[in-house]
Structure 1
Amino acid sequence: MLAATTTEGEPMATPWTGIIEDARHYPSPHNSQPIVLRVDDDQTATVFYDLRRGLPAESFGIPFGHVCAGVFLAGLDLVARAHGFAVTESLDHAEMDFSRVDRDPADHLHRLGSVALTPHPATAADREALHGFLARRTSRRPYDATLVDDDAIRASEAIAAQAGHRFRTTADRATVDEIVRVNQATLFDDLRNDAVHTEILHWLRFSKRQAADTGDGLSAETMLMPGPVLKFAMEHRGLWEAPGIGATFKKVYLSTMRGVRQLGWLEGPFGSPAEYVEAGRTFMRIWLDLDARGIALHPFGTVITNPRSHAAFVERAGVDESDGRMAWMLFRFGRSAPPPLAHRRPASAMTLTATADGGAS
């Protein structure tokens, strides 16, 4: 069994030092940063998902653990190429069992597979892609109400099609406004679920100092809400339905949604860990392509994971979820002012080193 803690301050095998330092900037649900790497030697590493950092309370929260893995692996490949290496993967695709942490808190690392590095001549395009990866941020700021250009749409369609998925978008005002309303209502609906409410509270950071100290979570700053207001609102969820106060909370939340002119989503196979991983990989590639074009993006993840909201979205958008396909990602995209920085944990916090007996420390 693997050790429950990572090493701090011990040297990592090169060339992993620089690769992990950059790869840690991958996006994750609630900025939970659940991926852990065990450096086995200079060429190989084992990839794990830290079950303590997942979101199992939400419907589809467990599949999105593997989606997050796919997002990370897409970023790792890009980062490694800029550092002069190609990545070869050998993935396990086993189901995640979050209940095992309840049985044994030390047993919290789910093995995703192994990765190996082989030399690759880094190109100018590789280095530019790394620059874009490091600069990428989720923008919850108001957007400028302009449409995304057709070239960007076609590029997203092509990336999705290469992986057997379909990228769709709508700029129909009534449809956009209704789905934005569904997204807003989803938060209040989720708060009625005790387990989801507890999970959300665990990942909220109500001050800049708290966000910087933990290096993870959803900060009030990135959510564009005053920390004390957010804290009070989330700790007194019953008031969301109260006259006056509830309307004020909702108005503050919806103010960040100004200027949303267009929504995009992805449809495709989404029924097994292997498909979840490939979905995440596809989403990351589309996100980075849009970001390179100056187009901001903000996932509406809870609309997908909340069953009532998912059904409302599917009906409004005219999605066909037959034959094992699903609308598994929804987001607003457009142009906005640069968003605040979301903090990341240090590379040492996501790194294990192999021990002589084959374990890790």
Structure 2
Amino acid sequence: MVAGAGVAFLGLRNMGSMEDYNASVAATRSALTQAPGMSDLIRYATLAANSHNTQPWRFRISDAGIEILPDLTRQIAIVDPDNHHLFASLGCAAENLAIACGARSRPGELSFGPENDGGVMYTFGGGAPAEPALFDAIPKRQSTRGDYDGKAVCNRDLQTLSAAAAVPGVDLVLTTDRARIERVRDLVLAGNTAQIADAAFVRELKAWLRFSPRQAILTGDGLFSASSGNPALPAWLGPIMFDLVFKAKAENEKYARQLASSAGIAVFVARKEDREHWVLAGRACQRFALQATALGLKHAFINQPVEVASLRPDLAALVGLPGRRPDLVMRFGYGAALPFSARRPAESVILS
């Protein structure tokens, strides 16, 4: 028994501390200087939202600008078989990059095309005016996967959110109607139940989970348990506990509670179903998330109804856009922050 206790104690010691984790994450979110280098601008781009925190991007710097390229080694083939989320994630990073460059006297324009290897090009020159509120929100934004306080968002702020997320080629449907939120909840629970019943989905999700602070720091990616409001655990114990507690009933109860505590839901629907428009949906989503952060709101993805293909028509009809493919779904409201997700160093995602 003494030996067993010693092994358990050693495991706890080796899991690292939240203090070390928070310090490591804070370094990736430090403010930009007035004249940042390209790697720091790219660091701000990598703070964007992305599926499973896979960070599926690479960056190539040239005299003309910065390319954001898909990193297909970071595909999540079960939950995202057509790389929809991957390209939406590129759009999120592209929007961060454009806002950061615009705020630091490097304005430019974003474009998408096959000539960019399926990625996004930020070309220096021209561009929209600086957006200081969105820029300041970049290092503060997080997908806060916890309960909110149920407080309503005023109409003025809802209008501000809609205006910020206005990207040509993408429709945003905002709802704060409780009956409609409950109908979205039913789709989320149906999707969640289907996904948890899929052993391949669960294996893929589990591969991207990070249970200890040390594990999350070393990988610099993935879904850290503390960032979802769950306890940090030794890396060896986490998978065991996950298998014991990750059940549809408990997860559905959590999502139902979180949706009941949310002020509203945002659904992003691109006007075409192709990679360019998936990027545009990501850009609109990122702008919404940054504006929400600037207004003191939290947000989190509830993408089950778009990840389970059979549920997409129901969601499209619910938001008044039948025949279209919904791209991304977020809940939003007021709540407490959780630990930020880790990011890989900018140098590790820049192509030489």
TM-score normalised over the length of structure 2: 0.78
Residue 72 of structure 2 is aligned with which of 48, 51, 57? 51
The residue that corresponds to 2:239 in the other structure is 231
Contact 1:145 1:259 in 2 (8 A): yes
The residue that corresponds to 1:101 in the other structure is none
1:183 aligns with 2:184: no
Q: CA deviation at 1:136?
A: 0.9
How well do the aligned residues superpose, as a CA RMSD in angstroms? Answer: 3.1
Residue 116 of structure 1 is aligned with which of 104, 119, 123? 123
1:269 aligns with 2:271: yes
Greater CA drift, 189-198 or 133-142: 189-198
**Aligned partner letter, 1:280:** G
- Aligned to 1:75, the other structure's residue is in SS state helix
Q: How many residues align?
A: 314
Residue ranges of structure 2 left out of the alignment (5+ in a row)? 1-35
Work out the CA distance in 2 between the residues paired with 1:249 and 1:179: 16
Residue 286 of structure 1 is aligned with which of 281, 285, 288? 288
- Cα 1:335–1:304 change in 2 (3 A) is same
Q: Give the fraction of aligned pairs with identical amino acids, expressed as a percent.
A: 21
Work out the CA distance in 2 between the residues paired with 1:181 and 1:231: 28
Q: CA deviation at 1:342?
A: 0.8
Contact 1:301 1:330 in 2 (8 A): yes
The residue that corresponds to 1:352 in the other structure is 351
Matches within 5 A, 1:1-361: 15-41=37-63, 43-58=64-79, 61-93=82-114, 111-118=118-125, 126-227=131-232, 231-232=239-240, 234-235=242-243, 240=247, 247=249, 251=253, 259-314=261-316, 317-322=318-323, 325-353=324-352
**Aligned partner letter, 1:204:** L
Contact 1:144 1:260 in 2 (8 A): yes
> Could you report, residue by residue, the CA deviation over 1:74-109 in whole angstroms, capped at 9, with x for unpaired residues?
1110011122101234532489xxxxxxxxxxxxxx
Work out the CA distance in 1 between the residues paired with 2:111 and 2:257: 45
- Aligned to 2:227, the other structure's residue is in SS state coil
> Could you report, residue by residue, the CA deviation over 1:32-75 in whole angstroms, capped at 9, with x for unpaired residues?
1111112234x433321111112222256512222111111111
- Cα 1:111–1:349 change in 2 (3 A) is farther
Work out the CA distance in 1 between the residues paired with 2:81 and 2:276: 15
Q: CA deviation at 1:351?
A: 0.9
Contact 2:181 2:259 in 1 (8 A): no
Contact 1:182 1:313 in 2 (8 A): yes
Work out the CA distance in 1 between the residues paired with 2:52 and 2:316: 23
Structure having the higher helix fraction is 2
Q: CA deviation at 1:344?
A: 0.8
Q: CA deviation at 1:186?
A: 2.8
> Could you report, residue by residue, the CA deviation over 1:95-137 in whole angstroms, capped at 9, with x for unpaired residues?
9xxxxxxxxxxxxxx55154333488x98x6454322111111
Q: CA deviation at 1:220?
A: 0.7
**Aligned partner letter, 2:333:** G
Residue ranges of structure 1 left out of the alignment (5+ in a row)? 1-13, 96-109, 241-245, 354-361
Q: CA deviation at 1:150?
A: 0.7
> Could you report, residue by residue, the CA deviation over 1:200-236 in whole angstroms, capped at 9, with x for unpaired residues?
1121111222112211111111111234596335435
- Cα 1:169–1:65 change in 2 (3 A) is same
- Aligned to 2:160, the other structure's residue is in SS state helix
Work out the CA distance in 2 between the residues paired with 1:175 and 1:31: 29
- Cα 1:149–1:92 change in 2 (3 A) is same
- Cα 1:190–1:308 change in 2 (3 A) is same
TM-score normalised over the length of structure 1: 0.76
- Cα 1:327–1:113 change in 2 (3 A) is closer
Work out the CA distance in 2 between the residues paired with 1:252 and 1:89: 38
- Aligned to 1:338, the other structure's residue is in SS state coil
Q: CA deviation at 1:334?
A: 0.7
- Aligned to 1:221, the other structure's residue is in SS state helix
Q: CA deviation at 1:151?
A: 1.4
Work out the CA distance in 2 between the residues paired with 1:346 and 1:59: 25
